[in-house]
Amino acid sequence: MRMSKAFTALLLIFSLLTPQAHAVDLPTDFSFHGSGYGHGVGLSQMGARAMALAGQNSDQILKYFYKDVAIEQKDDSKILRVNIGHLLSSAKISTITKTAPLQIIQGEAGNESSVPVLSTADSISFSIIGSTVSPRVTIGKNTQVLTRSRSFTVRWSGTRYLEGPESVISVNHSGLTRKYRYGQIQVKAVKSASGYRIEITNSVRLADEYLWGVSEMPSYWPVAALEAQAIASRTYALSKAGIYRSACDCDLYGEISDQSFLGYAKELEKKYGVIWKEVVTRTAGLTITQAGAAITAYFFSSSGGKTELSLNAWGSAKAYTQIVDDPGSLDLALNPRFVAWDRQVSQEIIAAAFLLPDVATLEILGTNESGTVAQIQATSTAGVHAVLRGEVFRSRTKIPSAWFSLVSVQN
User: How would residue 7 be classed by pLDDT, with cut points 50, 70 and 90?
Assistant: low
Q: Sheet containing 404-410: which strands, arranged edge to edge?
A: 341-346, 29-34, 404-410
What tens digit of pLDDT does each residue of 198-251 get?
A: 999 999 999 999 999 999 999 999 999 999 999 999 999 999 999 999 999 999
Mean pLDDT of 350-354: 98
Which regions of the chain carry the CATH code 2.60.200?
Answer: 79-205
User: pLDDT value at position 18?
Assistant: 47
Cα 270 from Cα 263, distance rounded (Å): 15
Please check the confidence at residue 5 and state whether its pLDDT lies above 80: no
172 phi and psi, to 5 degrees?
Answer: -120, 125
Reduced to 3 states, what is the DSSP secondary structure of residue 218?
coil
User: pLDDT value at position 8?
Assistant: 52
User: How would residue 19 be classed by pLDDT, with cut points 50, 70 and 90?
Assistant: very low
- By residue count, the chain amounts to 411
Cα 238 from Cα 230, distance rounded (Å): 12
Residue 179: count of CB within 10 angstroms of its CB: 17
- Structure-model confidence comparison of residues 402 and 109, the more confident one: 402
Mean pLDDT of 302-312: 98
User: How would residue 410 be classed by pLDDT, with cut points 50, 70 and 90?
Assistant: low
User: pLDDT value at position 1?
Assistant: 40
24-38, 299-313, 329-343: lowest mean pLDDT where? 24-38
17-21, 141-145, 377-381, 386-390: lowest mean pLDDT where? 17-21
Class of domain 79-205 (CATH, top level)? mainly beta
Q: Contact 367/5 with Cβ under 8 angstroms?
A: no
* Alpha-carbon distances, residue 15 vs 2, 28, 353, 397 (angstroms): 19, 11, 12, 14
**Could you tell me the pTM of the whole model?**
0.91
* Alpha-carbon distances, residue 359 vs 33, 157, 381 (angstroms): 19, 56, 7
Cα 125 from Cα 110, distance rounded (Å): 22
Please state whether 369 falls in left (phi above 0), alpha (psi between -120 and 50) or beta.
Answer: alpha
* Alpha-carbon distances, residue 327 vs 52, 57, 81, 306 (angstroms): 13, 17, 37, 8
56 phi and psi, to 5 degrees?
Answer: -85, 150
User: pLDDT value at position 22?
Assistant: 44
Please check the confidence at residue 304 and state whether its pLDDT lies above 50: yes
Please check the confidence at residue 113 and state whether its pLDDT lies above 80: no
Mean pLDDT over all residues of the chain? 94
DSSP string across 126-158: EEEETTEEEEEEEETTEEEEPPPBSEEEEE-SS
User: How would residue 98 be classed by pLDDT, with cut points 50, 70 and 90?
Assistant: confident
What tens digit of pLDDT does each residue of 139-182 get?
A: 999 999 999 999 999 999 999 999 999 999 999 999 999 999 99
